[in-house]
Amino acid sequence: MNNPSVSNITPEALQELHRIAKRCMSNENPGHTLQATALVNEAYLSLHAANINTPDKLQFFALAATHMRHILVDHARSKSAKKREAQAMAISANDELLLDTNDMTSLVLLDEVLMLFSALDERAAKMYEMRLFAGMSNAELAELFDISIATVERDIRIAKAWINQQFNK
């Protein structure tokens, strides 16, 4: 696959963006008003408006996943503006989000916890975000961040433990 960019999106890149969007949407309520295709379109428009172009495909997909996360969080915030009670949320052993799909507050809470953790360890928070929302493997994360796989594994363990601790208080 050629390196995708906002100005030059290939069918393969579009397919990968749809895979990321489907992963992001997998924990959403089946009746969610946003669909994967709409999420891809919103992310594309957001990336285009920000005039983001990168020659690196992993970086491009990481940016797209971040934009998708922000779109979902913004959507959740608008839907749950009247609700402020948090429901239980957990992250499974295989790094899948287990959210209460009837309450979008969980996604907003996850976003807030990721931002708090980012203040402590920005790289580990970003890696864990890419793991959860883009489904990136340790090898992909190591390449993206130009670090060893052992460092990725350590940072992911730290992020996961800290985030789970916040939700189990």
5 lies in some domain: no
Interior angle at CA 53, CA 48 and CA 59, nearest 5:
115
Q: pLDDT tens for residues 9-34?
A: 778 888 888 888 888 777 666 666 67
Predicted confidence (pLDDT) at residue 6 exceeds the cutoff of 70: no
What is the predicted pLDDT for the residue at 168?
73
What is the predicted pLDDT for the residue at 155?
94
What is the predicted pLDDT for the residue at 95?
59
CATH code assigned at 150: 1.20.140
Tell me, yes or no, if the pTM score tops 0.75.
no
What is the predicted pLDDT for the residue at 85?
40
152 lies in some domain: yes
Q: pLDDT tens for residues 34-47?
A: 778 888 888 878 87
156 lies in some domain: yes
**What is the residue range of 65's domain?**
11-167
